[in-house]
Amino acid sequence: MLTTDSTFEIKLSKTSSIESVDFDNIMFGQVFSDHLFYMDYIDGEWTRGVIEPFGPMSISPATMCIHYGQSIFEGMKAYRQPDGSVSMFRPGANISRFNLSAQRMCMPEIPEDIFMQALVELVKIDQKWVPNNENSSLYIRPFLFATDAHVGVRPSNSYRFMIFTCPVGQYYNKPVRVKIEREYTRAAIGGTGAAKAAGNYAGSLLPTKLANEKGYDQLLWTDSKTHTCIEECGTMNVAFVIDGKMIIPSPSDTILNGITRDSAIKLALDLGIEVESRTVTITELEKAAENGTLNEAFGLGTAATVSLMSTIGFDSGDYDLPDLSTWTVSSRIKKALDAVRLGTGEDKHGWNIPV
Ligand code: COI
């Protein structure tokens, strides 16, 4: 079916795979909603966007993004509200960060109004895919990649912008064991660590695999120069509670400016929790672990939401965090964040955008 009363060309799917989905047991990132959005950048202009059935696409083997990694993405979420409607959480912040990533990777920005309209129309068309279960949501994945078929390193002249969505449950279904990484580096000053560039994630795979082999789930990256300061996990920003105070590494050239991180800080301050956004050293963490003041450690991300850490692997050995029943900071932040996103609490910062 084809509808035309939109800025975009809309080709609706004749079938839906939703009946085959077990919404109570969704594996993160493995189930895709019926439609996707795409829009091409050709000869210096964005062409008309298209919404069409989700499916494979055909590209040249010489497509530049495959060879030279000019590819960026975002992750955001939409939530079912108590009245059955659907709201996206802070999509404007993701759009701004996407365009910053585009600048850093020498790619064209997406006009903000078209980006927002594409999100709203796509999520509206597939709104039955937004889960209703606890800890579930519709994950939205916008991405942009170089499409020139060309061998040779230069910025591409043509690009494709796409969005697809997938119903998701939890990214981590149990508290994670993290190892402080002091040999490999995720991001260096002047590099691309603050952008959501595809290559940043590829570079993390080998060190993460090595940590997995030692029984850890994730890495806590450290700065590339001295390997003495905690940065982020790659899949999420990180925060610690030391002596009741929330301590969180500040965004930088090498630490992604996380939207969940920002939301958590604002909600923590609303809740009267003391927050320090600053450099966090391994020494400080290790001392706090030794003297019993390291109360909580958790990750913050769109996919990960608020993910608790069970163990931190220092060079000197593993530190098991205190029993989760004693964690009051992360639990209050998660509760407050859930209440806003799920529409059961006041949205005093105006973060929810209805579709
Ligand atoms: C997100 O949180 O949306 C991300 O892009 C991180 C990725 C590990 C899924």
pLDDT, tens digit (0-9, with 9 covering 90-100), for 76-93 = 999 999 999 999 999 999
Residue-wise over 186-196: b if at least 16 C-beta within 10 A, else e? bbeeebbbbbb
Q: How far is the CA of 235 from the centre of ligand 1 (A)?
A: 5
CB 167 within 8 Å of CB 129: yes
Distance CA 209, CA 214 (A): 9
Q: Which of 45, 148, 79 is nearest to 302 (CA)?
A: 79
| Mean pLDDT on 275-294 | 97
Q: How confident is the model at residue 2 (pLDDT cuts 50, 70, 90)?
A: low
pLDDT at 159: 98
pLDDT of residue 1: 55
pLDDT of res. 285? 98
Kindly state the tokens that stand for 125: 């068309």
Average pLDDT in the chain: 96
- Taking residues 251-272, report their average pLDDT: 97
Task: Take atom 3 of ligand 1 and give the residue whose Cα is closest.
Answer: 75
Q: Which atom belonging to ligand 1 lies closest to the Cα atom of 234?
A: 8
* Structural domains of the chain, ranges and CATH numbers in brackets: 2-168 (3.30.470.10), 176-341 (3.20.10.10)
pLDDT band at 3 (very low <50, low <70, confident <90, very high): low
Rg, C-alpha atoms of the chain: 21
Give, using CA atoms, the residue closest to atom 8 of ligand 1.
Answer: 235
- Atom of ligand 1 at shortest range from CA of 301: 2
Q: What pLDDT, on a 0 to 100 scale, did the predictor assign at position 131?
A: 96
Q: With cut-offs at 50, 70 and 90, classify the pLDDT of residue 6.
A: confident
**Which atom of ligand 1 sits closest to the CA of residue 76?**
3
The pLDDT score that the predictor gives to residue 4 is 55
pLDDT greater than 90 at residue 263:
yes
Find the residues whose C-beta lies inside 6 A of ligand 1: 75, 235, 301-304
The answer on pLDDT for 266 being more than 80 is yes
* Interval 299-351: pLDDT, tens: 999 999 999 999 999 999 999 999 999 999 999 999 999 999 999 999 999 99
